[in-house]
Amino acid sequence: MILSIDFDGTLVEHRFPAIGPEVPDAFKWLRAFQDAGIRLILSTMRSDGQEGPMLTHAVDFCRERGIEFWGVNVNPDQAEWTSSPKVYHRGASLARSSWCCPTRADCSRAN
Protein backbone atom coordinates (compact mmCIF):
# COMPACT_ATOMS: atom_id res chain seq x y z
CA MET A 1 0.00 0.00 0.00
CA ILE A 2 1.07 3.56 -0.64
CA LEU A 3 0.09 6.44 1.61
CA SER A 4 0.32 10.01 0.33
CA ILE A 5 0.60 12.62 3.09
CA ASP A 6 0.43 16.40 3.09
CA PHE A 7 2.73 18.32 5.45
CA ASP A 8 1.30 21.70 6.48
CA GLY A 9 -1.98 21.27 8.32
CA THR A 10 -1.63 17.47 8.42
CA LEU A 11 1.67 16.57 10.08
CA VAL A 12 2.23 20.01 11.57
CA GLU A 13 -0.09 22.93 12.26
CA HIS A 14 -0.23 25.26 9.28
CA ARG A 15 2.31 28.05 9.89
CA PHE A 16 3.88 28.25 6.42
CA PRO A 17 6.56 29.33 5.70
CA ALA A 18 7.55 28.28 9.23
CA ILE A 19 7.07 24.72 10.44
CA GLY A 20 4.27 24.67 12.98
CA PRO A 21 3.91 22.46 16.04
CA GLU A 22 3.34 18.75 15.43
CA VAL A 23 -0.26 17.65 15.02
CA PRO A 24 -0.97 15.32 17.97
CA ASP A 25 -0.32 11.64 17.15
CA ALA A 26 0.56 12.30 13.50
CA PHE A 27 4.14 11.02 13.70
CA LYS A 28 3.16 8.14 15.99
CA TRP A 29 0.76 6.91 13.29
CA LEU A 30 3.23 7.50 10.47
CA ARG A 31 5.85 5.41 12.29
CA ALA A 32 3.25 2.65 12.79
CA PHE A 33 2.36 2.74 9.07
CA GLN A 34 6.03 2.77 8.10
CA ASP A 35 6.77 -0.16 10.43
CA ALA A 36 3.89 -2.08 8.81
CA GLY A 37 5.59 -1.75 5.41
CA ILE A 38 3.38 0.97 3.98
CA ARG A 39 5.23 3.17 1.49
CA LEU A 40 4.98 6.84 2.44
CA ILE A 41 4.98 9.69 -0.06
CA LEU A 42 5.18 13.29 1.12
CA SER A 43 2.88 15.33 -1.12
CA THR A 44 3.31 19.00 -0.37
CA MET A 45 3.33 22.40 -2.03
CA ARG A 46 6.64 23.16 -0.29
CA SER A 47 9.63 23.45 -2.57
CA ASP A 48 13.29 24.40 -2.52
CA GLY A 49 12.79 27.51 -4.60
CA GLN A 50 13.34 31.22 -4.25
CA GLU A 51 11.95 31.21 -0.71
CA GLY A 52 14.70 28.86 0.41
CA PRO A 53 14.91 25.15 1.22
CA MET A 54 11.33 24.84 2.52
CA LEU A 55 10.92 21.28 1.21
CA THR A 56 14.27 20.14 2.57
CA HIS A 57 13.37 21.56 5.99
CA ALA A 58 10.08 19.61 5.99
CA VAL A 59 11.76 16.34 4.97
CA ASP A 60 14.48 16.83 7.60
CA PHE A 61 11.83 17.62 10.23
CA CYS A 62 10.12 14.30 9.47
CA ARG A 63 13.41 12.38 9.34
CA GLU A 64 14.28 13.68 12.84
CA ARG A 65 11.03 12.07 13.99
CA GLY A 66 11.84 8.69 12.45
CA ILE A 67 10.05 9.03 9.10
CA GLU A 68 11.82 8.15 5.84
CA PHE A 69 9.68 8.82 2.79
CA TRP A 70 9.65 6.42 -0.14
CA GLY A 71 8.99 9.45 -2.34
CA VAL A 72 8.81 13.22 -1.98
CA ASN A 73 6.31 14.87 -4.34
CA VAL A 74 6.75 11.88 -6.64
CA ASN A 75 5.96 8.18 -6.82
CA PRO A 76 9.37 6.69 -7.69
CA ASP A 77 7.77 3.98 -9.85
CA GLN A 78 5.46 6.08 -11.99
CA ALA A 79 8.07 7.54 -14.35
CA GLU A 80 8.17 4.12 -16.00
CA TRP A 81 4.62 4.50 -17.35
CA THR A 82 3.54 8.17 -17.20
CA SER A 83 4.91 11.68 -17.40
CA SER A 84 2.09 13.10 -15.28
CA PRO A 85 3.29 15.29 -12.40
CA LYS A 86 0.40 14.14 -10.18
CA VAL A 87 1.55 11.62 -7.57
CA TYR A 88 -0.02 8.24 -8.28
CA HIS A 89 -0.97 6.01 -5.37
CA ARG A 90 -3.37 3.13 -4.83
CA GLY A 91 -3.94 3.60 -1.18
CA ALA A 92 -4.90 6.60 0.86
CA SER A 93 -4.22 10.31 0.97
CA LEU A 94 -3.98 12.05 4.30
CA ALA A 95 -4.70 15.72 4.51
CA ARG A 96 -5.88 18.07 7.23
CA SER A 97 -7.78 16.50 10.15
CA SER A 98 -7.00 12.91 9.22
CA TRP A 99 -5.52 11.81 12.55
CA CYS A 100 -8.51 10.40 14.34
CA CYS A 101 -9.12 6.90 15.60
CA PRO A 102 -12.39 5.03 15.17
CA THR A 103 -11.99 3.48 18.63
CA ARG A 104 -9.71 3.85 21.62
CA ALA A 105 -8.34 0.37 20.89
CA ASP A 106 -7.15 1.56 17.46
CA CYS A 107 -5.37 4.52 19.05
CA SER A 108 -3.63 2.39 21.66
CA ARG A 109 -2.19 0.09 18.96
CA ALA A 110 -0.18 2.99 17.49
CA ASN A 111 1.70 3.65 20.77
Global confidence as pTM: 0.79
Give the number of other CB atoms < 10 A from CB of residue 37.
Answer: 7
For the stretch 68-90, pLDDT in tens is 999 999 888 777 877 777 776 66
Question: For residues 88 and 75, is the Cβ–Cβ distance under 8 A?
Answer: yes
Dist CA 35 CA 48 (whole Å) = 29
**Residue ranges of domains in the chain:** 2-109
Please give the CATH topology (third level) of the domain spanning 2-109: Rossmann fold (3.40.50)
Q: What's the mean pLDDT in 46-75? A: 95
Backbone Cα Rg of the chain: 14
- Ordered alpha helix ranges (H), the chain: 26-35, 54-63, 104-109
